[in-house]
A and B are shown apart, each in its own frame.
Chain A
């Protein structure tokens, strides 16, 4: 009697629980994501991994848009809105209300979860309509391949119609064939892969050529091993070429930053002969202008950055003209006093920035088109921000050169620089030209600040870091010679980068400095000394 009763109850419970479980596995997993620990969240990802409904949730989570709506204890996907966030229910996809930022709490992620998520997303996206999405999915799976992933790819290959995706999958399968038990398959795989610039290929091949502790090769098959060694040598040769290209690029981009920083100095110091210790602080002002512009236009970082180029030029140029009119013009021909006075100005500007913006560094965001890198192949990639700065540097340099060569202002600047008295006698307003020249040099410093804000800290000490290097390169290039400045900046950048891997960053810098000291001993006028009467003035 009792037993039948118990059985009945059990049967009833079973009848209720089984369909409920299958139906609710999805929402249960969502609940786990909302309230669970990191371990439970990982389980939930596994549970949902084959459920295509989970894809938008995973996507939102990875992009930091998955939140908990605290008032209703449910998982929501958010999109930014002027008031705060628009909410969308995660399980049903229905639009909910709009709430302010405090009403929701973010679902946190750790690296472990991020890579599980990426894997799960890639596996779900393997069936995407868009071929590029499929290709990206295949590449993500390939990064951290296991047996499940490989099996998945093999089955997918049967139905795949897009050529690029097929090639990518075949490539992965080939890579796996290197470890096959059939010798012919292995040799075919190595032959097929030896011209690929791919890290995984290189690592697999390297593994074939390694020796164990006793000095014997781990790979017992001699033919396969020799083939692998030959293929690896080819890959290594290509690697060396890429490494050289990379070093030159690094050097050029370091040089570009230097050139940008000192091109304005080349005008004030090189053309006018004024030692402006506040030059670095003018760059700092440019960088802070970028910060302010980004605060003003928080929704379009890219435009803010582009607009800050003319803004920074104007701000720095005005401050520069102020310095020239207020201080420097009384001190022409007295370099020591100019040096001290401008040093005072630099301290003043630093403290002003500290008082206005706080002594903490300000964070200047990088627009997306400037972050990341240009992936040429698996071994060679050039970072976008450096690439843009290099181009920007060349543009600024060309513009400045044209300005000095082609415009009336340029003509007057050169005239005053060569012979002040003669220029005045010819009717050139010397003091106005001085102010304009100084403003031009300062404005370019401001523009350099915009570029620097993208690669280094925006803080009160930004300028100090560059001022010594800048003077050094101007002297090395030849005072008063813009072209010399360019060559000097780039060659020192490359020299630094060639030395760095061998001796470390600290010693590389010292060696370059020693080289410049020795060079100036030998050629005090720098790489490209000015010729003619102006040089003796």
Chain B
């Protein structure tokens, strides 16, 4: 008779324990506001996303030192979706149902965002997404604080076309949704500017591609036809290192054929041998090298928090900085963390960005940003060679794709839709 009693004991103990745990959790939930941080801390994306997790911890810490929010302390709930796309959805569900977070800051790749999207819509959560992306989306529950194509890719092409007089174009990318969509938009844009088919070369490579010999040789051949050529690169992550190395080895210099990249920032450069990259370009909305007092203060805050003066700051970090502060202002304005109230309050809010302009949350849930084009220097920093003279409003739907040209996103009444067709005056059933 010993065994059953033991089981019974264990059961009661377990029940008491779980009761105790839930009660403490409810007590704590009353005096803190929880903020979910959904960034991969392991796996392939950990390289980029760990920094964003630390940025969020720093911002929350700073806000708490200022007295918290609505008289309560903020509490970060950090989860690790491990670069595993379906796990992103599971972790988002966990954050919203179990931890009852007021907002989630997270995701990096588009595929992880697409995986979280149905969850935040179903449970009516809020997601702040800090990375430049391909557009063609606007969800009621997502705020896109990174660049849309018209805030990064299109201005970069304009710069190449007008300032560097580029006539032939290589669109090179990794084979997944972001490069494919971006290149589709760019191709349509280039053709609208009168660039002929034979002057555009498109090329896709698998993730982590390391043998660039024949592709670079092709680019070289393509670029030696006597017209100025540039490469628009949406090559993502690791594959960039062998790509630039091969360009350098085959004698393709930034002066002959410049490469403008949309995924190479300060953080990525810190792990690369920068010699073959010097002079190549990148388009972002923020550079660590931009000389403003706000930026200097931000860099100092980051170095103090991370306790390493060698760490760099980058564009998605600024996006989180803007997104988090906008959310704080929206919660203060609404007087609650209720999703609907925050969504209503945040539209139209303004917050100064780090490079000297003002970011504004637009009705399509994107923000206004300046566009900067920089040349890579040997120390892994950028020298700004061109920038827009004012901030540019993010467009959810590209004007250069025929199917999305008539579509707009507007989350204010009377439209209240992320996918509104201005010709048929209808909101598509799909709400993102």
Chain A interface residues toward B at CB < 8 A? 38, 64, 106, 108-111, 114-115, 118, 199, 203, 206-207, 246-247, 250, 253-254, 257, 359-366, 371-373, 375, 381, 383-386, 455-457, 459, 461, 465, 497, 500-501, 504-506, 509
Contacts and interface: CB of A to CB of B under 8 A. Distances in A.
A375 B375 CA distance: 28
Contact of B249 (A247, A371, A509): A371
Interface stretch (B74-82, B210-218, B401-409): B210-218
A250 B218 CA distance: 12
A361 B238 CA distance: 8
4 closest A-B pairs by beta carbon, nearest first, are A361-B271, A203-B226, A456-B210, A383-B249
A364 B204 CA distance: 26
Interface stretch (B15-23, B251-259, B390-398): B251-259
A508 to B, nearest CB: 9
A206 B221 CA distance: 14
A509 B46 contact: no
B206 interface: yes
A473 to B, nearest CB: 14
Contact of B273 (A364, A375, A381): A364
Contacts of B378: 64
Most-contacted residue by chain B among A109, A246, A457 (CB, 10 A): A457
Given A459-B271, A505-B205, A506-B206, 4 more contacts: A361-B47, A363-B273, A383-B213, A505-B206
B250 A366 contact: no
Interface in B252-280: 254-255, 258, 270-276, 279
A110 B375 contact: yes
Most-contacted residue by chain A among B218, B226, B258 (CB, 10 A): B226
Contacts of A38: 385
20 contacts: A110-B375, A110-B385, A111-B255, A114-B254, A114-B255, A206-B226, A250-B214, A257-B211, A360-B47, A361-B241, A365-B273, A372-B248, A372-B249, A383-B250, A385-B245, A455-B210, A457-B271, A461-B238, A465-B208, A465-B210
Interface string B180-221: 000000000000000000000001111011110111011000
A106 B379 CA distance: 10
B427 to A, nearest CB: 37
A428 to B, nearest CB: 41
Contacts of A501: 214, 218
Interface string B327-359: 000000000000000000000000000000000
A373 B211 contact: no
B213 A366 contact: no
A391 to B, nearest CB: 16
A375 B272 contact: no
A385 B214 contact: no
B272 A363 contact: yes
Nearest to B241: A457
A500 B214 CA distance: 8
Contacts of A506: 175, 204-206
A529 to B, nearest CB: 29
Contact of A497 (B42, B214, B276, B379): B214
Contacts of B255: 111, 114-115, 118
B211 to A, nearest CB: 5
B377 interface: yes
B249 to A, nearest CB: 4
Contacts of B50: 359
Given A110-B383, A383-B213, A373 B250 contact: yes
Contacts of A115: 255
Nearest to A202: B224
B27 interface: no
B242 interface: yes
B218 A386 contact: no
A459 B47 CA distance: 10
Given A250-B213, A359-B50, A362-B271, A455 B218 contact: no
Contacts of A64: 378
B213 A253 contact: yes
A247 B214 contact: yes
Contact of B211 (A254, A363, A366): A254
Contact of B241 (A114, A456, A465): A456
Given A373-B250, A373-B251, A111 B375 contact: yes
Contacts of B273: 363-366
Contacts of B293: none
Contacts of A375: 251
B207 to A, nearest CB: 9
A378 to B, nearest CB: 9
B44 interface: yes
A199 B226 CA distance: 9
A38 B213 CA distance: 34
Nearest to B254: A111
A111 B249 contact: no
Contacts of A247: 214
Contacts of B248: 371-372
Contacts of A465: 208, 210
B319 to A, nearest CB: 20
B250 A381 contact: yes
Interface in B84-106: none
Contact of A360 (B218, B258, B271, B275): B271
Interface in B284-310: none
Given A114-B255, A359-B47, A362-B271, A504 B204 contact: yes
Contacts of B226: 203, 206-207
Contacts of B274: 363
B423 interface: no
